[in-house]
Amino acid sequence: MHAVLIALHALTGTVALLAGCVAHRRRAYFEVYLWSLVATVAFLAAAVAEEWSRLDAVSRALFAAFVVLGLVMLWLACTARRLPAPSPRYVDRVGFTLVALFDAFIVITVLNLGAPVALVVASGVVVAVAGHFALRAAKAETLVPR
């Protein structure tokens, strides 16, 4: 069951990332982005709950933090829903979730390739920093009249 939940988590996360990339500029796919993000977090929480009794204390803390991050991402997406797109605040909220999703995909890929922990952490930091600069550029673009 855990493998199915993780597969569904990855699938809905991919949909959220792709739909969010379109929704980042315009609202066309915002609802697909939002509801696939809801499903992503729900499948993550279900997978963590299913494995909880087999996790050590450090893993429990780490996975609980991931679920909390997912809830923060949902809050940001829900608050973005009420904002005009693309506005600086909308770009901040949707953009944060996109960077977090992309970062997760990169970190999991590097981890699954058997890289040392230091490289896994470094890849996550590099993606987060690059995402910060990409969001700054995207937000600046929203301020330019068309």
Q: What is the mean pLDDT of residues 104-115?
A: 91
Burial class (CB in 10 A: 0-12, 13-18, 19+), 41: buried
Total domains present in the chain: 1
pTM of the model: 0.88
Structure tokens at 108: 């999991």
Q: Which residue range forms the structural domain that includes residue 43? A: 2-142
- Reply yes or no on whether the pLDDT at 146 is more than 60: no
Predicted pLDDT of residue 145: 58
